[in-house]
Amino acid sequence: MPRPRQALLSRERIVTTALALIDADGLAALSTRRLAAALGVQGPSLYNHFATKDEILDAVADSVTATVDVSAFGRYDWCEALRRWAVSYRAALAAHPNIVPYLAQGPGRRPAALAMADAVYGGLVRAGWPPARATHIGAALRYYVAGSALGSFARGFVEDPALYAAHPHLSQAHRLAGHQRSVDEGAFVLGLDALLHGLAAEYERTVAGLEPATARE
């Protein structure tokens, strides 16, 4: 046969397989050779579809961001929309925690990340938040969500009671690992509610009273 009828690889297949390997073995364990082997080809073949390994990671990160639901910004008031977006955002990241350190560095040039930033910022400005304030709120929520997904708080504590003997208040810390999911979820919801509560108070003080409803063009 003069040419294979169809290419062995595609960008989509590379991204899907890379994400599966990262989920299974961690970001550090992903090498171009191992990824290629999982796809049934040799390492250099990947370079016919992506210029660098970082470009593959960008595509993986964006495929995760693409699953975040921002539709709440058209349907609910700004505060409830922020809450629903943050919950969806965190769920998307928590499903693939190993890619979060890479993803959390910023949107860069990734289309889904930029579309998300656009929806959030636009939603806040439409609600009457001054543009600079909208930027700060979007950043603060991203800080919180990224931090919450970046490595479980509970899993960060080693399951070794002896380690905590010297710390009077941490005598139960070794149990955290066993309740990882509920601790992380509970902490996330508590902090998110507090954050939104505080923002709502700020909104009442500085936006609702000071501007007529039609002040934004």
The number of angstroms, rounded, from the C-alpha of 130 to the middle of its chain's C-alpha atoms is 25
Residue with tokens 């954050």: 195
Question: Residue 87 binds which entry of a second copy, DNA, none, with Cβ cut-offs from 5 to 8 Å by kind?
Answer: none
**Beta carbon nearer to DNA, 1 or 166:** 1
Is 71 an interacting residue with respect to DNA (CB under 7 A)? Answer: no
Q: Give the total of residues touching a second copy (CB under 8 A).
A: 66
Distance CA 184, CA 174 (A): 15
Contacting DNA (CB under 7 A), which of 48, 105, 171, 206? 48
Q: Please report the sign of the dihedral spanned by the C-alpha atoms of residue 20, residue 26, residue 29, residue 31.
A: positive
- Residue 52 binds which entry of DNA, a second copy, none, CB below 5-8 Å type-dependent: DNA
CB neighbours of residue 169 within 10 Å: 7
Least distance (Å) between residue 44 CB and DNA:
3
| Contact residues for 159 (Cβ-Cβ < 8 A; gap 6+) | 174, 177, 178
Beta carbons within 10 angstroms of residue 71's beta carbon: 12
Nearer to a second copy, 40 or 198 (CB): 198
Dist CA 189 CA 106 (whole Å): 23
172 touching a second copy, by CB under 8 A: yes
115 binds a second copy (CB under 8 A): yes
Min. distance of Cβ 78 from a second copy in angstroms?
A: 13
In our burial notation (b when 16+ CB lie closer than 10 A, e otherwise), range 85-110 reads bbbbbbebbbebbbbbeebbeebeeb
5 binds DNA (CB under 7 A): no
Chain position carrying tokens 């709502």: 200
| Binding site residues, DNA, CB under 7 A | 1-4, 7-9, 30-34, 36, 41-45, 47-49, 51-54
| Binding site residues, a second copy, CB under 8 A | 101, 104-109, 114-115, 117-118, 121-122, 125, 131-133, 135-148, 150-158, 163-164, 166-170, 172-173, 176, 183-184, 186-188, 190-191, 193-199, 201-202
